[in-house]
Structure 1
Amino acid sequence: MKFRQTPYVIIGSGIAGLYTAIKLSEKTDREILIITKSGLRESNSRYAQGGIVGILPENIEDSVELHVQDTLKAGSGLTDPDVARFISERSAVAVADLISYGVNFDKSPEKKVELTLEGAHSVRRILHAGGDATGRSIELALCSVVEKDPKILIYRQTQAVDLLIDSDNTCKGVIVLDKTTGEYETVYANSVIIATGGAGQVYARTTNPQIATGDGIALAYRAGATVQNMEFIQFHPTALDFEENGSRFLISESVRGEGAKLKTPDGESFTHKYDERGDLAPRDIVTRAIYFEMKRHGYEHVLLDTSTIPEEKLKARFPNIIKACEEHGIDIFKKPIPVSPAAHYIMGGIKTTVRGETSLKGLYAVGEAGCTSFHGANRLASNSLLECVVVASELAQLLSEQNEDVPSESSDCRINCLISKYEKNNFGYKPDIAPLVQQLRETMWGKAGIVKTEEELMEALKVVNELRLEFNQPYKCRNAEEYEFRSLLTTAELIIRSALMRKESRGGHYREDFPETSDVACDSYLSKQPEPCLC
């Protein structure tokens, strides 16, 4: 076991983590350590296609109030109006900031920033970059800034495995595993920021890459932090109906925003039967419309017809979608795209304020891993990139106002007891992880997915408990794959337990046995008591 002391640790290298590091570096002369379990340019953020919301002063059709109204309506009663307004008011500054870091948002022939429309937005307000590669464009620009900053240290191929929580329930650092060498390191820090993204890999069908295993949410919950609204999973209605490397290629909502139409394999439009807004209704409504049509008629997928969009516009706006479809033998200029729903985003997560503060002192969260009550029960398209940039900026300001001396090694009993668990090898039976992961993902998709019932949720929870008993590695694991499975088990349990508690249907959470929406909207919370120190 190695040891290190540093003022700030950021776990995760997507847009939320990178942006936090950059803003923090601008406000402090101290070292900032980024821990990423992959390379710097591989994250969930990279796959964000649609764009980022911007309430720009030159867009006279739009306003903060209009964006707040759209966000509240999509959030189905669980979006905090003050949070929505706080984030919306800062969107223009956030966009200008990203541009200053080298993000080149797409422009019209008149050199004006192009704005597109997405589902449940009342006006065009979505900025995009690289046509349909906004997440990748932002991430590459931020990576370039981070790599040139001498104050920012990067641990690549490094897995965070447990948070150091002392006897006063304060976070004091993190234990990490170097995946290349197999060596563990205890990193003492005054501030630990979780920016690990989502957990789409808990489902058999997802648009998320293989690294999206809910690590940060699981770490925080294990440490005693409160998690909120974990039952609210956003299933994107239109993922390409082919799987590659454990995920499905997203067909951005912007395609429908530009005029593409959803149809059955028989060529019939259908979404208007479920909502008067049709193809541009909120994502949960469009997803369930597709789900019920597929189930009712036995379709394997539905079709997205792009023939209504001019060819030149398709080429300019969606080059990556065209390429991905071509790789699967689909010429979207001649044939519609086969699509079906897939897990895409988690509205819940670690409960935080708009400054990233969790229920534990010294522990913070930004991006998809956190839950500020901005997205409510159903995220409005392209609000997520805006939230992570605004919250990251606020968090950096908060931390810069604190006295962050380099911490010393701890003599706390609880911390030392945890460290000792990672210094020993108490391995017995070695399970084959791959089939266990597949069983978990198939169970979650079939019994805790788009449509849920009490009976199926209880069956899913039974499977999770059985898999945990078979796995039997509550602390030290043999490798990164086992740690990711440990995270998936925790995340799955949190989703199921939260879904069981919510005996209603609201936003992204649909209970077939409780199809009505309650008059009173309440958040759900889960937390666990810390284990006593027995060392």
Structure 2
Amino acid sequence: MKTDVLVIGSGIAGLSFAMKIAEAKPQLEVVVLTKSNNDVCNTTHAQGGIAVVLDRGKDSFEQHVSDTMKAGKDLNDREVVEMVVSQAPDRLVELIEWGTSFDSNLKGEFELGLEGGHSQRRIVHHRDLTGRELERKLLKKAAAYENLKFYDHFFVTDLLLDEEEVCIGVSALDKHQNQQINISSKVTFLATGGSGMVFQNTTNPSVATGDGVAMAHRAGAKVSNMNFIQFHPTALYEEDKYPLFLISEAVRGFGAYVVNEKGNRFLFKSDMRGELATRDIVSEAIVAELKVSGEKCAYLDCRHLDFKEFRTEFPTIVSYCNSIGINIQTDLIPIVPAAHYQCGGIDVDLDGKTTLTNLYASGECAHTGLHGANRLASNSLLEALVYSHQAFKAVVSEIDSIPEPLPHKQKEIFRAEQEADDEILRSLRMRLNEIMTYDLLHTSQKREKKEALEQLSELKEILDYYPPFNTGTPEFYELRNMVETAILVLDHAVSFSAVRHNRPQGIM
């Protein structure tokens, strides 16, 4: 199988890139691969919105840049931040032209939300379903292009390189036929999302297993700052629930309080902004409070808010809380920090190019330098739109000069009995999640991180060398990627601790 442009992932990064290529180059074939259904991705789960400077009287690009840099502890790449922030209005116009709708008032003006770390209201949103609205409208738009094809339930296992280390496509498991195939392409575009499923608690969907980062690293692409994993402070705590339901940052922007088991607010002890501090600060304060109290969770208090207005703004959150017996008018919402966003990833330049020729990346799997050590709320969808646009421009200008890749020999795949694998893989995956906690990444000493690295290396050795663990199934490949990603996270955390005050080095 071969194509001109191969896109891995169907979130906002992959879809916006694929659509632009398909429209600008109708003579080219564009193929989008997804390991699940087309609408299963991190984009669909995004509740908050897109940060865009629209009210130039009160707001400015400079303020948005400053807020982004401050949230990222000034470990961001300022050139990248300025580029992304300045493109936001244009990318918003494109989304509207593609049919996406955003909340507005009776005057037809956007209702701009406020979220932690933002000095102004600048969050354009569609209630608490922004990601779902984007995904639905972009998929509908993408279906109109005859030269854009979707193949779901294709699990990409590895990148293919030629003798000169040029990316020429991928190897993938066709889950419909249960067979491994090679797909060659002139350009390969990774939009595979994040790696939240590596961690004990996460808000990410089950597909967020670090696949893009792991396969790019195996192929030799540079990967940076994987220790910069952002934990969202307000995941709804439920015992034996995995992943956890997200309570949007916008709920705190709406006026909700974070309280302890006694009903007392405590965030102002850590930051004068209280509930409107950035996610890393709020998460750290909650974890510290729980260590003192010995409780399993903190709480969001929405009881003082206008319920009618709240229900209009956050219908998904109200509905889910009701479904598990929580009435936000009378009850506190139990919360814990959970792994939410991967700020590091595959290094890319300003055009989305990785360090491997003809391989691009955008979205959560990419490390652009925008976020620094901690992402400012609602900058992620914006980043994906901007970097996919940058990559689109680069690919359109270069693809006619890229030669057709030569065929790549298929390797043999070892297979074992599926029933025998499942229990083993589940136990290994549980062990991985037990190791990868908030405390390990953010509060443990270097020695503890190194001990955890040794345990992860043992898991990797099991997966690499001992049949029947090496089964060639999607479950095996996901676990392999998760373990490799976890090793990168801790390895970068150990290295970073030695140069904590130095600016991370990228390829930009």
TM-score by length of 1: 0.90
Q: What are the residue-to-residue correspondences of 1:58-457 with 2, within 5 Å?
A: 58-129=55-126, 131-242=127-238, 246-404=242-400, 408=404, 410=406, 416=409, 419-420=410-411, 423-425=412-414, 432-445=424-437, 448-457=440-449
Distance 1:244 1:149, change over 3 A: farther
Match of 1:487 in 2: 481
Q: Post-superposition shift, 1:246?
A: 2.5
Instruction: Give the match's secondary structure for 2:237.
Output: strand
Match of 1:459 in 2: 451
CA distance in 2, matches of 1:240, 1:165: 43
- Kindly report the root-mean-square deviation, in angstroms, between the aligned alpha carbons of the 2 structures: 2.0
Deviation sequence 1:216-242 (CA, Å, 0-9, x none): 000100000000111100000000002
Q: Post-superposition shift, 1:450?
A: 3.6
Opposite residue 39 of structure 1, the aligned amino acid is: N
**1:188/1:407 contact within 8 Å kept:** no
Deviation sequence 1:231-280 (CA, Å, 0-9, x none): 10000000000267620011011000011111111011101111111111
Q: Post-superposition shift, 1:281?
A: 0.9
Instruction: Give the match's secondary structure for 1:91.
Output: helix
CA distance in 2, matches of 1:48, 1:390: 17
CA distance in 1, matches of 2:190, 2:391: 12
2:464 counterpart (447, 453, 472): 472
Deviation sequence 1:97-120 (CA, Å, 0-9, x none): 101111110111222111010001
Opposite residue 487 of structure 2, the aligned amino acid is: E
Q: Post-superposition shift, 1:427?
A: 6.0
Match of 2:495 in 1: 501
CA distance in 2, matches of 1:200, 1:10: 21
CA distance in 1, matches of 2:478, 2:388: 25
Sequence identity percentage = 38
CA distance in 2, matches of 1:424, 1:6: 24
Deviation sequence 1:177-212 (CA, Å, 0-9, x none): 111211221111111000000000000100001110
Matched, 1:13 2:7: no
2:504 counterpart (522, 525, 528): 522
CA distance in 2, matches of 1:175, 1:410: 14
Opposite residue 522 of structure 1, the aligned amino acid is: P
CA distance in 2, matches of 1:187, 1:76: 41
Opposite residue 490 of structure 2, the aligned amino acid is: I
**1:498/1:524 contact within 8 Å kept:** no
Match of 2:46 in 1: 48
Distance 1:504 1:316, change over 3 A: farther
Instruction: Give the match's secondary structure for 2:227.
Output: coil
Instruction: Give the match's secondary structure for 2:2.
Output: strand
Instruction: Give the match's secondary structure for 1:206.
Output: coil
TM-score by length of 2: 0.95
Q: Post-superposition shift, 1:406?
A: 8.6
CA distance in 2, matches of 1:10, 1:264: 45
Instruction: Give the match's secondary structure for 2:13.
Output: helix
Q: Post-superposition shift, 1:447?
A: 5.8
CA distance in 2, matches of 1:403, 1:468: 37
CA distance in 2, matches of 1:40, 1:442: 30
CA distance in 2, matches of 1:463, 1:330: 39
Distance 1:494 1:26, change over 3 A: same
Q: Post-superposition shift, 1:86?
A: 0.5
Q: Post-superposition shift, 1:408?
A: 4.3
Q: Post-superposition shift, 1:426?
A: 7.1
Q: Post-superposition shift, 1:410?
A: 2.1
CA distance in 1, matches of 2:93, 2:312: 23
Deviation sequence 1:325-382 (CA, Å, 0-9, x none): 1111100011121111000001000001132100111110000000110001110000
Q: Post-superposition shift, 1:462?
A: 1.4
Opposite residue 46 of structure 1, the aligned amino acid is: T
**2:156/2:172 contact within 8 Å kept:** yes
Instruction: Give the match's secondary structure for 1:153.
Output: strand
CA distance in 1, matches of 2:277, 2:505: 23
Gaps of 5+ in 2: none
**1:177/1:183 contact within 8 Å kept:** yes
Instruction: Give the match's secondary structure for 1:221.
Output: helix
Q: Larger deviation: 455-464 or 339-348?
A: 455-464
Q: Larger deviation: 184-193 or 424-433?
A: 424-433
Q: Post-superposition shift, 1:504?
A: 6.0
Opposite residue 341 of structure 1, the aligned amino acid is: P
Q: Post-superposition shift, 1:471?
A: 2.1
**2:159/2:219 contact within 8 Å kept:** yes
**2:190/2:361 contact within 8 Å kept:** yes
**1:172/1:191 contact within 8 Å kept:** yes
CA distance in 1, matches of 2:175, 2:110: 42
Instruction: Give the match's secondary structure for 1:159.
Output: strand
Q: Larger deviation: 429-438 or 43-52?
A: 429-438
Instruction: Give the match's secondary structure for 2:382.
Output: helix
CA distance in 1, matches of 2:228, 2:309: 34
CA distance in 1, matches of 2:193, 2:371: 15
Opposite residue 106 of structure 2, the aligned amino acid is: P
CA distance in 1, matches of 2:239, 2:174: 30
Deviation sequence 1:434-460 (CA, Å, 0-9, x none): 010010011111663342221221121
Distance 1:496 1:388, change over 3 A: same
Opposite residue 247 of structure 1, the aligned amino acid is: P
Instruction: Give the match's secondary structure for 1:113.
Output: coil
